[in-house]
Structure formats: structure tokens, C-alpha cells
A and B are shown apart, each in its own frame.
Chain A
């Protein structure tokens, strides 16, 4: 693989609280992430795990508290807005909410044309042709360019948002849950589109989501986040075949399998309680408060590091994974229950 498109090292983002309460919210607490040329990396985790914050820090919508972000080897962590302007064509973002992602007072054509105008990439008739080409590429009929966002459906709006992001031909696309607000049937169409476009245009993509099925479908590699840290990171096949971290195992067991027979017989691991507050995260391994196999005091005292547990770049941070890569099996612990035993 050639040079990496994105390299994130020890990214931290703390949101400070009002002075009276003292502390700060550790939304992101030391994240490393590398995305290669044309690679699609998934970032999953439940709400509050900090995955969206990572995305926003990368495109510099938020100022990172610590760490470095390199785009094509160039450090952009502290670049000023003016300096960033030249980098903006390299990275783009797709947003979650199809209703707020497009300016309600601009036509679809103007919205798609705006980035190219801002960066002076095209003008006049050439711009017209490019906009028409982009709309065609994302599967929007050409007459929609004169329409306003409120006249479009959610799926069409996400397509328009995608066309706007891809208009400058970025090498990195940060997609922050681009389909989670859409109907399932529309989700599939937009995901297929995203995958086709990725294959055609070859951009790298950080796909942020909480739906494991979409991530499995789209991504080459997946990083699982819990409470501001990455707990496991490996290629998609291995993650879904042999998850190592207890949290990943629980997450996977909670996902619905599209086979009713299999779904009925599956063991489901139900995690107790909610994700702990990132204002005052648990000591040691942050997952120990909910981990069904946690071994106290080891897990509550020392913080595990993210290490390669199999020798085939399968990163996981758990004390209980042995040197030969054997992982604890949460389905054997007592807190599990058969998916249908209670109903």
C-alpha cells in the first residue's frame, strides 16, 4: 500500500464543563487511526462513544485537545482556517440528518456547485456540465437541480449531499452516519451508491455508524469505540468471524441476524446499564463496569493497551486475551441469556 491518506495519533478531545463543576467531558481519549489509499474504515460504537467527535475533529469542525492529524503526511492539527482552505478539497464530510444538511434557500444545483465555486474549480458552462454530471452520478434526475431541498425525499437529499461532498473529488470522505436517518429500503440504495462511487472514484472513507450490518457491508476494516477509545480494530472479516474484545462480542451478539431460525437459537449477551459517563470514566479498563467476564481487580486497576493479539494486525485492548490470541468468550458467562428464553 502506498502512503496513508489519513493518520491520526493519540487524538483527544475534552469538552470543558462550567467552572463550578470542575471536570471535563472526555469525548475522545487517545484514538489512533490510519486510513490507506482507497480504504474504507468503519468506526462503530454506541451513542456517546465519541465516534462522531472523532469525525468532526478530523475535518477540523472541532479543535482537538491533543494529538496529531496528518492528511497525506501533512500535519493539519493546528492549521489555521486560511491554511486549511487548500486542504478542504482533499477531505469532505457527509452528514447524518438529511433535513439539515442542505440549505433550504438554495436550489440543489446551487448547493452542488458551491464547493467548486468556492475553490474556483469550474465556472460558467463548465460548472453547469459538472453539476449535471454529479447529479447523474448520484442518481438524481437532472430536472431536480432547480428544486429546493424541501421538495426532495430524505434519500434524495442524502444523494444531493453526497454530490456536494464529491464535487471537489476529495481523497478522504468522512461519512457520519449517512444512512441512519433513512428508511431501511432507502438505506440500502444509498449504501450501494456510496460503495459504487467509492469504487469508481477511489476515495478513502471513514464510515461512522452504529449499524453493524451496514459496516460489514461497506468497510474493509472496522474500529470499535467504547467511551472515547478504540477497543478493537481489525479487518471486517475477522471482526465478524472472531471478535476478540468482550465489548465487540456483546455488540455483535446484539445485532439481528437476517435468518429467523438462527436468530432464535442465538445466545444474546445483554450488557447491564448504560455507557458510563465520560466526565468521570471508570478506572483501568473503561469497560470493566459492564464486562461480563471482567476479572477484578486486574481490570479495574490497570488500563489495557491496544495491541496486536494475533500477529495479523488484529488490534484489541483487553487483559484477558492471552498471548496466543485466545479471547475470553462472553457467551459462557452467567449474565447471558438465550434470546427468546424470557419471552
Chain B
């Protein structure tokens, strides 16, 4: 390796280290990261670590309180192990949160870039369409779409993603409108850069901060949204466990077994909070101008 190449490697390594150190110096972000990693690991290994089959009921042991022998979090109205169902529920919650957000970001950012960069009639069409969608409250739109598409986890994800696309279109377009007047974009045009280079290298890269922030807010919203759709019976279908379904069935027994409603609620809250904290931390370290 030449000395120049070593210098480059060294610079890259120290940059990664610097980013990591900046991240590590923010306790809330670290807590968020640990929480997210934990939830992801739980979701991946749910079938292996579940003490029972989450769909298998036992009518001799319904509504066991938490910390009962053999059932750490107790059992539900059909005698199913709550811990096993929480573990399995993390899968639908996470996949809904991540997949719906990813879909919304990809679609929303694409439309936002097109509208903001090319302007003209395309801009008008895209923006009026988002205005129409924004006229409906997020959950109402998602419920409506999910009802039309039919009840299933995939359709719930699709419905949630479509409902949050307008937000991304708006944020991206606003950023692009400001960035395209920057001198470095003008310089890229003078250099004969093709649109794809200008859009991705010069414009999109500089929209990352607000998009990360928005995504960090969207993921927990999607997790809650999935729970809401499942709660209403148009998301995940029984007997598959989902935090939303668990909440929904718990509401009938809220006076006899309040812990049964509390447990999935706490799971939703912890997951949503972890993603929020992580998102805030990411935003801070992703912006090179942020103070150290």
C-alpha cells in the first residue's frame, strides 16, 4: 500500500471512530440503540426463546397473574402464555414499523425529488394529490385503505405506508426547493453533471437529516398504527399474535385482568420510545455541521 492509500484508510477509520464517539457521548441515543437491538433480537429469535406455543390455549389455566409458576407474564382469556404471545407479537410490530416506513420513505422521497427538482406541471399534480391525502387524518386514511385492501399484515403495511407518503413528499420537496438554488448545485450543473448525480449526490445527501428525523417519528407511528389496525381486526389475523390484537382482546377483561392490557401496552411504548431516541441520536451525528 502506498503512503497515500494508508493516509486515506486512516482518515476513514478515524472518521468512523469520531462518529461512534459522538454517538456514544449521548446517553439517550445509546439507550435507544440498545432498546432497538433488543427488540430486533427478540423478533428474530422469538420462536426459539418462546416458552410455549403462542397459539396453544390451556383452558385449565386462564388469566393466571404474572409471575405464576411456569408463566412469567401470566396467561390470557384462552390460557395462552402471554410472554410467548408478546415475543411473537414483536415480529408483526417490527415488520410493520420497518417495512411500512421504508416503503413510505422510498415512494415519498422519489415523488418529492421529482416535484421539487423538475417543478412545472409534474409538481402541481404531485402536490395537489398529496394535499388531498393530507385532508384525511392519518389513521382514518389507513383504516379506510386497510378495509378496502382486506385484512392481512401485508395489506396493513401497505395501507400505513400509503397514508404516510404525503408527509415525505412535502418534506423532501421543501428541502429540494431550497437546495437546488445552492451554489454547489449550480456548480454541478456548470460541470455538466447528469440529473441523477445532482439529485442523489448533491441534493438527496443534504436532505438526509430531516428525513432521518421524520423516519424516526414514523417508525413508532407505524408500530402504533399496526397495533391500531390489528386492534380493529383489519390488520394481523388471529391466531397470530400481535400487540394490537392482544390489546383488543384485553379490553373486554380490563376490570378482571388489568395486567393483560398493560403488558402489550408497555411493549408498544418501549419499542416506540427506543426508536424515537435512536432517531434523535442519528440525526445529531449524521449532520457534520452539528457541534461535537
Contacts and interface: CB of A to CB of B under 8 A. Distances in A.
A7 interface: no
A92 B289 CA distance: 28
A91 B183 CA distance: 16
A123 interface: no
Contacts of B289: 104, 150
Contacts of B6: none
B192 A100 contact: no
A125 B2 CA distance: 10
Contacts of A95: 183, 186-187
A341 B192 CA distance: 55
Given A100-B182, A100-B184, A164-B187, A148 B288 contact: yes
Contacts of B11: 146
B206 A118 contact: no
A186 to B, nearest CB: 18
B192 A104 contact: no
A102 B184 contact: yes
Contact of B205 (A85, A88, A105): A105
Contacts of B8: 146
Interface residues of B, number: 25
B186 A61 contact: yes
A165 B205 CA distance: 22
A323 to B, nearest CB: 44
B191 A115 contact: yes
A148 B292 CA distance: 14
A94 to B, nearest CB: 9
Contact of B192 (A111, A119, A164): A119
Contacts of B7: 146
A66 interface: no
B106 interface: no
Interface string B1-43: 0101001100100010000000000000000000000000000
Contact of A84 (B182, B192, B288): B192
Interface in A100-116: 100-106, 111, 114-115
Contacts of B4: 128, 132
A81 to B, nearest CB: 8
A97 interface: yes
A105 B288 contact: yes
Contacts of A161: 187
Q: Which among B182, B190, B205, B289 has the highest number of chain A CB atoms within 10 Å?
A: B190
B71 interface: no
Give the interface centre of B8, B15, B187, B197 by most chain A CB atoms within 10 Å.
B187
B187 A101 contact: yes
B191 A114 contact: yes
A92 B187 CA distance: 8
Contact of B184 (A91, A101, A115): A101
B243 to A, nearest CB: 38
Interface residues of A, number: 36
B149 interface: no
A69 interface: no
B193 interface: yes
A120 to B, nearest CB: 11
Nearest to A97: B183
Interface string B192-234: 1100010001100110100000000000000000000000000
B187 A93 contact: yes
A161 B190 CA distance: 13
Interface in B237-283: none
A103 B184 contact: yes
Interface string A147-164: 010100000000001001
A8 to B, nearest CB: 17
A59 interface: yes
Contacts of A91: 190
B183 A61 contact: no
A96 B182 CA distance: 11
B78 interface: no
A105 B207 CA distance: 10
A337 to B, nearest CB: 40
B189 A61 contact: yes
Contacts of B288: 104-105, 148, 150
Contacts of A101: 183-184, 187
A179 to B, nearest CB: 15
Given A128-B4, A150-B289, A118 B183 contact: no
Nearest to A92: B190
Contacts of B192: 81, 84-86, 88-89, 118-119
B119 to A, nearest CB: 14
A226 B182 CA distance: 27
Contacts of B15: 146
B29 to A, nearest CB: 21
A114 B184 CA distance: 12
A91 B81 CA distance: 73
Nearest to A101: B183
B12 to A, nearest CB: 8
**Which of A61, A96, A114 has the most chain B CB atoms closer than 10 A to its own CB?**
A114
B57 to A, nearest CB: 55
Nearest to A87: B192
Given A91-B190, A92-B190, 8 more contacts: A88-B192, A92-B191, A95-B186, A101-B184, A103-B201, A105-B288, A118-B193, A146-B7
19 contacts: A84-B192, A86-B192, A93-B187, A93-B190, A95-B183, A95-B186, A95-B187, A100-B183, A102-B184, A103-B202, A114-B191, A118-B191, A118-B192, A146-B8, A146-B11, A148-B288, A150-B288, A150-B289, A161-B187
| For the complex of A and B, 10 pairs with smallest distance between CB atoms | A88-B192, A95-B183, A146-B11, A85-B192, A101-B183, A100-B183, A103-B184, A105-B205, A115-B191, A100-B182
